[in-house]
C-alpha cells in the first residue's frame, strides 16, 4: 500500500514557486466562499512521525485566514475529557458550518499506536475503526466535507530525518526517545496503518496517501487536494440542492398510499394499562421510599464517578416537568443539571444535530436530565417534516451509536416516554385554560400537535422498535395518574443506577 509513496517525488524551489502564489490565492478565495456554505470542512493529518504533519499544518494555517480555520491536536485525555465518553472532546471541537477544522493526532491516534504496541487485538482495532467510520459517516451525512491525509515516509527516510533533526542543535530537542522507539517498530506501525487506511477509506471520507519526504512536494499535493475538494464540494452541494428541489416537484414522490386495514393496527402505546394508579398515603410512602433510595444510590455513584443521563419524552401535558422536579428534589442541586431542549441556538444550528447533546454531557458522578432530547429528530422533526425522511431514518443508527458510547463509558442511561390518553390530555388542556397560573403552559401549538396524534403514535412505535436496546432500553410510563408515573420513574431510575453500579463493580 505505501510503496507507491516511496518514489522520491519532489519539487524544486522553482517548480514550487511556479504554482504556490496562485494556489495560495485560490485557497483564500475558497475560504471566503466557504463562509457562506452550509457545511464544515474537517481535515485530518496523520501518518509516520517526521513525515511533515506539523509543517504542513503550519503552512496551511499561515496561508489561510486564521479566523476561519482552527487546528486541534490531542494528547492523553485531560481530567475533564476522561470523565466523559472518548469522543466527547472531538465532538466539542468540531468546526461549525463555513469553517475549517484541522485535526492532528486525532481519533486515529489510539487505534494506530495501541495496535502497533499490541495493546489491542486485530478485532479490537477493527471495532475502533468501525466507530471512526460511523463517526465520520454521521458527519458526512449531514454535509460535512472530510479530507484525510496519510503522510508517509519509508523506514530509511524516517531514520535519515530523525538523524538530521538531531544533528542541528536548534531542532535536536524535537527528537525524543519515543521517536526512536517507534522507528524500531516501523514494521508493526506499517501493518497497523495499512489496516487503518483500508478500513476507514470511504467514499465520503477518503484517505489520500502522500509521500512526505520532500516538503515542497508534500505541501503542494496536500494543498492542491484541499483546494480541489473544497471547490468540488461547494458545487456538489449546490447541485444536490437543485436536484432535491426538482424531485420535490414530481407529483409521484408525494402520492400517498390509501389507508388500509394495516394502518389501524395497535401501537406499542396501546399495550399500556392506563388505569394504573397509586393514591393517598401509599403514594406518599412510595415516593419517600424511592427518593431515599435514589439519594443513597446517587451518593455511591458520585463517589465512584458514575454519571447518569436521563431522557424525558412524552405527550404535551403528560407531566414531564412535575416528574423531573420530584426527581431532582432528591438530589443535591450541584450534582444535577436539567437541560430543556427547545429550538437550537444559532451556534447549535451551525453544527451537527447531535452536537448540542454531546456538549451537555456532565463530568463524572453527575446527573444530566434532558427534558426532550435527541429523539426530537425521529419525533417532532419527522412528523412535522423538518428533516428529510432519509435523515430521520438514519438517525436511529446514529442515536444507537451515541448511546452505545455512553454505555461503554459506564454512564447510566434511562429513557422515559410519559404516556397519557387523548381524553386525559384534553382534560388537562381544559383545566390549564381555566387556571390562571397554568394558562401560560398552554399554547396554540399544543392544540395543533394534538391533531397529529396518529402520526406521532407511528413515530413513537418506530422509535421504541429501533432504539430500545439492551444497552439503552425505553421505559413507557402510564401517566394518566401523575402519582403512579412519578413513582414508576423514580423506581426505574433507582433500578438502573443499581444495575449500573453492580456492572461497574465487576
Binding positions for a second copy, rule: CB under 8 A: 1-9, 11, 15-16, 18-19, 121, 123-124, 126-127, 130, 191, 194, 198, 201-203, 206, 209, 217, 220-221, 224, 228, 235, 239, 243, 246-247, 250, 252-253, 257, 260-262, 265-268, 270-271, 390, 393-394, 396-397, 400, 461-462, 464-470
Determine the Cα–Cα distance for residues 6 and 212; give it in Å rounded to an integer: 9
Rg, the chain, Cα only: 27
Task: Specify the residue for cell string 495501541.
Answer: 114
| Residue with smaller CB distance to a second copy, 99 or 417 | 417
Q: Smallest distance from the beta carbon of 287 to a second copy, in angstroms? A: 27
Q: Given strand 412-419, what is the order of strands in its sheet?
A: 336-340, 367-371, 308-314, 412-419, 474-478
Note whether 303 and 505 are within 8 A (CB).
Answer: no
Q: Smallest distance from the beta carbon of 4 to a second copy, in angstroms? A: 4
Q: Smallest distance from the beta carbon of 390 to a second copy, in angstroms? A: 7
| Residue with smaller CB distance to a second copy, 272 or 427 | 272
| Residue with smaller CB distance to a second copy, 128 or 286 | 128
Q: Smallest distance from the beta carbon of 67 to a second copy, in angstroms? A: 28
If we measure between CA atoms, which residue out of 195, 185, 209, 46 comes closest to residue 116?
A: 185
Q: Smallest distance from the beta carbon of 42 to a second copy, in angstroms? A: 19
Q: Smallest distance from the beta carbon of 492 to a second copy, in angstroms? A: 15
| Residue with smaller CB distance to a second copy, 175 or 209 | 209
Determine the Cα–Cα distance for residues 191 and 116; give it in Å rounded to an integer: 8
Q: Smallest distance from the beta carbon of 257 to a second copy, in angstroms? A: 7
| Residue with smaller CB distance to a second copy, 462 or 478 | 462
Angle between helices 122-141 and 109-116 (to 10 degrees): 170
Burial 161-191 (b: 16+ CB within 10 A, else e): bbeebeeeeeeeeebeeebeebbeebeebbe
Q: Smallest distance from the beta carbon of 460 to a second copy, in angstroms? A: 9
If we measure between CA atoms, which residue out of 328, 375, 371, 269 comes closest to residue 490?
A: 328
| Residue with smaller CB distance to a second copy, 337 or 461 | 461
Q: Quick one: cell of 332?
A: 443535591
| Residue with smaller CB distance to a second copy, 3 or 79 | 3
Alpha-carbon separation of residue 299 from 308, 310, 330, 375, 401 (angstroms): 12, 17, 11, 29, 29
In sequence order, what are the beta bridge partners of 47?
151
Residues shown for the chain: 506
| Residue with smaller CB distance to a second copy, 96 or 143 | 143
Note whether 110 and 128 are within 8 A (CB).
Answer: yes
Note whether 393 and 120 are within 8 A (CB).
Answer: no
| Residue with smaller CB distance to a second copy, 20 or 442 | 20
Q: Smallest distance from the beta carbon of 8 to a second copy, in angstroms? A: 7
DSSP H or E run through 391 = helix 389-409
Amino acid at each position: 500500500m505505501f510503496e507507491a509513496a516511496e518514489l522520491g517525488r519532489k519539487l524544486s524551489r522553482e517548480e514550487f514557486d511556479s504554482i504556490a502564489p496562485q494556489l495560495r490565492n485560490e485557497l483564500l478565495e475558497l475560504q471566503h466562499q466557504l463562509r457562506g456554505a452550509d457545511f464544515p470542512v474537517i481535515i485530518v493529518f496523520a501518518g509516520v512521525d517526521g513525515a511533515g504533519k506539523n509543517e504542513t499544518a503550519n503552512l496551511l494555517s499561515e496561508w489561510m485566514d486564521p479566523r476561519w480555520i482552527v487546528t486541534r491536536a490531542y494528547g492523553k485525555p485531560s481530567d475533564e475529557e476522561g470523565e466523559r465518553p472518548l469522543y466527547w472532546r472531538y465532538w466539542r471541537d468540531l468546526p461549525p458550518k463555513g469553517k475549517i477544522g484541522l485535526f492532528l493526532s486525532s481519533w486515529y491516534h489510539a487505534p494506530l499506536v495501541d495496535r502497533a504496541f499490541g495493546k489491542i487485538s486485530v478485532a479490537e482495532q477493527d471495532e475502533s475503526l468501525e466507530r471512526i467510520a460511523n463517526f465520520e459517516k454521521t458527519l458526512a451525512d449531514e454535509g460535512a466535507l472530510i479530507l484525510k491525509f496519510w503522510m508517509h515516509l519509508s523506514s530509511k527516510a524516517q531514520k535519515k530525518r530523525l538523524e538530521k533533526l538531531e544533528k542541528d542543535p536548534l531542532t535536536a530537542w524535537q527528537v525524543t526517545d519515543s521517536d526512536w522507539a517507534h522507528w524500531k517498530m516501523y514494521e508493526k506501525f506499517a501493518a497497523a496503518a495499512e489496516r487503518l487506511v483500508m478500513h476507514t477509506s470511504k467514499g465520503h471520507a477518503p484517505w489520500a496517501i502522500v509521500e512526505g519526504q520532500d516538503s515542497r512536494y508534500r505541501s503542494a499535493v496536500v494543498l492542491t487536494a484541499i483546494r480541489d475538494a473544497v471547490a468540488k464540494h461547494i458545487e456538489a452541494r449546490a447541485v444536490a440542492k437543485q436536484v432535491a428541489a426538482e424531485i420535490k416537484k414530481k407529483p409521484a414522490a408525494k402520492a400517498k398510499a390509501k389507508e388500509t386495514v394495516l394502518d389501524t393496527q395497535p401501537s406499542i402505546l396501546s399495550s399500556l394499562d392506563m388505569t394504573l394508579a397509586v393514591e393517598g398515603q401509599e403514594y406518599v410512602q412510595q415516593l419517600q421510599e424511592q427518593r431515599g433510595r435514589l439519594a443513597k444510590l446517587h451518593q455511591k455513584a458520585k463517589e465512584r464517578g458514575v454519571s447518569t443521563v436521563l431522557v424525558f419524552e412524552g405527550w404535551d401535558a403528560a407531566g414531564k416537568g412535575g416528574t423531573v422536579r420530584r426527581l431532582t428534589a432528591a438530589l443535591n442541586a450541584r450534582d444535577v443539571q436539567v437541560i430543556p431542549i427547545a429550538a437550537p441556538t444559532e451556534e447549535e444550528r451551525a453544527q451537527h444535530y447531535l452536537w448540542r447533546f454531546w456538549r451537555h454531557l456532565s463530568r463524572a458522578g453527575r446527573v444530566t436530565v434532558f427534558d426532550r432530547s435527541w429523539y426530537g429528530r425521529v419525533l417532532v422533526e419527522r412528523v412535522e417534516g423538518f428533516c428529510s425522511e432519509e435523515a430521520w431514518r438514519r438517525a436511529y443508527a446514529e442515536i444507537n451509536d451515541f448511546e452505545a458510547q455512553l454505555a461503554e463509558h459506564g454512564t447510566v442511561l434511562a429513557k422515559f416516554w410519559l404516556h397519557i390518553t387523548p381524553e386525559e390530555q384534553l382534560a388537562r388542556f381544559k383545566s390549564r385554560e381555566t387556571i390562571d397560573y397554568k394558562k401560560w403552559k398552554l399554547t396554540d401549538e399544543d392544540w395543533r400537535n394534538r391533531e397529529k396524534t396518529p402520526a406521532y403514535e407511528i413515530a413513537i412505535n418506530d422509535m421504541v422498535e429501533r432504539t430500545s436496546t439492551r444497552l439503552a432500553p425505553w421505559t413507557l410510563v402510564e401517566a394518566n395518574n401523575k402519582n403512579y408515573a412519578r413513582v414508576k420513574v423514580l423506581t426505574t431510575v433507582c433500578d438502573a443506577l443499581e444495575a449500573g453500579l453492580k456492572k461497574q463493580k465487576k
